Structure formats: structure tokens, C-alpha cells
Structure 1
């Protein structure tokens, strides 16, 4: 199938749908200028100080890192927090939102991204399920209790050359101990998931009301397949159709679905021109 015919088939799926489910992985943010940490080399290009230490992503994205070297761990997460706060979502977010708000039964978002880009683009907070948590929320490292709070008052000062936090790290308001992002990390038995569970419950209630859902999946690869598994479950349980937008891995389950080997922004822009 040519790209032109694939785009036309995808546009037809959008016009036929009664509900839109946007599923997104790290590739969704690349067009906004965000790194996707693809492989150790890509990660170390973004964080050369960690490359000099031969620290790979799963070693710093780990609650043990906060116990081992607090300033390095918060140097990494503090930098990411600043980056996500300062990044404007690309125009594709707005295109998707326009389609979503025209659907008879509305929309939901399922994302493994912790960056808050959908909220920054104006999506309804009540329609977003962040399955790995959010960098914009904190919890106790221990944790001393089931408490999650906003990170808005934490303004990290970072030595980007050394990946070091220069100011005071955030602390738990209940016990005074170390605070960490409310993100599901590697080797993480302490992640507090009640915020994510509330989002999941809202999404499940909504899914029970739709009959012809269309899944538009963006930038979700097979290395950590959480988003792909969710997309495929929707096809099986809710008889939906899938538009998979993925530059490197666009394969789809059936001929009724559409795979587009294009970046998120380019694909969404091209589809919008057809609608």
C-alpha cells in the first residue's frame, strides 16, 4: 500500500469512528524536541555526564539511584522536569484534539509518557490516563504513607554539565524524608499508583459506553510495549480499529487497520488536510 492510499484509508477510519482513543509513547514528543532515549547512545547524547559514568537509563531511572546519589538522581529528574515544563507541545496535539472533540462519544488518552504534554496542550485532565505516572507529581521515597502531591513548588537548579542538582531536593511534607517523582521506575516496588488507578477507572467506565472506537497510536515501539499492548487489547475487547503512526515499526494486526511509517506531526498534518 502506498503512503497516499494508507493516508486515505486512515482518514476514512477517522470519519467513521464514534469515539477516539489516543495512545502515545515516547515518539509522540520527538517533534516537540523531546528526547526518546532510544538506546544507550541516544541516552548518553542527552545526558553526557551519565555517559561518562557508564550509567544506562534503567540505572538512573530507578528508586535506588535516589538512595545511592541523591543529587545525581535529582539532577536527571530535575532537568527533565524543567525540560517538560518549558517545552511547547507540537501542533499535532492540537490537530488530534480538534478531531477528538468532534467525536459523538468524545475521547480518552492513554500514554506511557510522564511529561504532561497532553495537559499542556489543553486536553481534559479527566480524560488522560498516564500509566507510568507523572513527573509533575511527587511522593515519599520510603514511602511513609499513600500521599501524592504536585511538584509545582519545586524549582530545580541544575548543573547540566555534571547532571547535578544544585539547590535543595524536595522532601516529603509528612516525614521530612526524600521525595521522588511519582513515576513507575525500573525495579520499583514503592511507586504509589492510586492516582494512576483513578485515571484507569475513569477510562474503563468511559470505554464501556463506546461502540466504534478508533485507536490512534503514536510513537509507541516494541522495546517497552505497554502502549502497544493496550492498543491491541482495545481492538480485541471493544472491536475497534487502529491507526498506528510509527516511523520505524508501523506494522498493524489486520488489513482493516492502517500503519503509517511517518513521524507524528507529519502524519497528523497530512491526515488533517484530507479531513
Structure 2
């Protein structure tokens, strides 16, 4: 299989596989790049249609929702429509396969994601979400999770799309009567305490830290690689456009969907 790849990339994958065979604790951070390979737009992508006049960062913040909850809710419903039929790509599937394999071979893989989609879960992985969940909602005031079986965004998204799934009508909390919002970490908000603590613990105690599809330059998530490196971990980056990060030990410069199936196969064969 490796013969299909450029020689330098194949050699680096073999080096990474040897590095990943023995360690008991591995921490993986995934970012927008891995989801982009499944066709999910990133925040850097220009918005289209009715939303091209807006910047994502001007809508994904608490002030925007307080000022115009209808606008922000409608935008998120549009985003849900964009991604509702997206499927895991070979990188997601390889990660899920590796988690299962590792559990049977005395390895621990902590998967941390900056993405709000559920493609890791669809593939069969267990992941901690630093930025929330696109398919969940909560009250903008009291924070209680909103559940409505008639509008269940966690339900099977392969069913026929209907108007109720993506209605732009605002919803009010049954406990405090304030508006329901997406359960997403917006600009200016803190990361969820539990997920962030899990990420810090995994990074501080891992033997190898892997960054996939993220620049590793945007904080606070970028600090995880530094935390791992400071505690003696080796750092691997998987990105078609490697970042100028001096703490990286091995760079696998290609798409995650190309690299991960080969890497996991090599780990199994090493």
C-alpha cells in the first residue's frame, strides 16, 4: 500500500508507525481539516447564498444572539442542513478502527476534537468535543439541555428531510422561557470544563501527541501540543499544509484521509 505514496511520505508514515507501536498513551487532536475532507465547510470558507453578506465570527457569538436570536438560529439551521447528510471519511474510519485495535493491545487513545459535527461518533469513535455539538441545543439563560423528540437533531439524519427538522422558528425553554440556542462554544465563551480538563490530562500524560487537520497555532487548543511536549511526548502532525511549529517531531504532509488508513495499517503490521 505504501508504494502508492510519495517516497518521503511513505518513509515518514513508517517512522510514525514505529513510534506509535509501543507507547501506552496516545492523545489525538482533530480540527476542521478532517471534517473538510467530508465536505463540511470550515469557518474560513466564504459563506454562500443568503449568508454571504455575513462573517461567521459575527454570528457565532453571544452578543449576536442577544441582539438578533432569529438571525443566529436561522444561520445554524442552515448550517445543519449543509452537513446533515455528510459521512465519515477514511480518516474518521481509520481512527475508529485504531481506537478499537488499541483497546485490545494495552494502548489508550484519547481523541479530542475541535469539530462540532458527529462524524467521529458516526464512524464509531469516542471523542471529547472542545467546541460543543452542532446537533444539540440548550437554553441561552439557564443552560439546561433542550430535548424535543419531534425535532431531534441527534436522530438518524439519513431519514427524509422535513421542515420540522430545520425550522427557523425560535424555541423557548420550558423551564425559564428564554430562547434555546445551539450547544456550541461561541467566540468569547469558555470551553466546557469537563472536556477541557480531559484534554489537558490526556495531553499532559501521553507518550505521543498527534495533531490532525488543525494548525496547532490557535489557542487554547494549540497549548495541548506544547503541554504534551513539555512532559516528554513526541509530536506528530498530519496536515497537507504543515504549520511552522518547531515542536513537531514527524510531519505527515498529506490529507488525513490519505495518511490515516496507511498509518493504522502500518501500526498493525509493525
TM range (shorter): 0.7 to 0.9
Query: Counterpart of 2:195?
Result: 199
Deviation at 1:169, TM superposition (A): 2.1
Residue ranges of structure 1 left out of the alignment (5+ in a row):
160-164
Q: Distance in 2 between matches of 1:251 and 1:4?
A: 21
Query: Counterpart of 1:219?
Result: 213
Deviation at 1:220, TM superposition (A): 0.7
Size of the aligned set, in residue pairs, is 249
Partner of 2:125, secondary structure, is coil
Query: Counterpart of 1:263?
Result: 255
Partner of 2:51, secondary structure, is helix
Query: Counterpart of 1:162?
Result: none
- 1:218-242 CA-partner distances (Å, limit 9, x unpaired): 11125634433212212213x2112
Deviation at 1:3, TM superposition (A): 2.0
* TM-score, length basis structure 1: 0.77
Deviation at 1:178, TM superposition (A): 0.9
Query: Counterpart of 1:170?
Result: 171
- 1:76-99 CA-partner distances (Å, limit 9, x unpaired): 211223444422111211212222
Q: Distance in 2 between matches of 1:132 and 1:7?
A: 29
> Does residue 32 in structure 1 map to residue 38 in structure 2?
yes
* TM-score, length basis structure 2: 0.79
Residue ranges of structure 2 left out of the alignment (5+ in a row):
1-6, 154-160
- 1:153-176 CA-partner distances (Å, limit 9, x unpaired): 5368999xxxxx754223222112
Deviation at 1:123, TM superposition (A): 1.8
Seen in structure 2, the aligned counterparts of structure 1 residues 69 and 254 have a Cα distance that, compared at 3 Å, is closer
Partner of 1:74, secondary structure, is helix
Q: Is the 8 A contact 1:246 1:263 kept in 2?
A: yes
Query: Counterpart of 2:123?
Result: 121
Q: Is the 8 A contact 2:238 2:253 kept in 1?
A: yes
Q: Is the 8 A contact 1:251 1:259 kept in 2?
A: no
Seen in structure 2, the aligned counterparts of structure 1 residues 259 and 33 have a Cα distance that, compared at 3 Å, is same
Query: Counterpart of 2:19?
Result: 13
Query: Counterpart of 1:272?
Result: 264
Q: Distance in 1 between matches of 2:222 and 2:203?
A: 17
Q: Distance in 2 between matches of 1:75 and 1:4?
A: 45
Query: Counterpart of 2:235?
Result: 242
Partner of 2:221, secondary structure, is helix
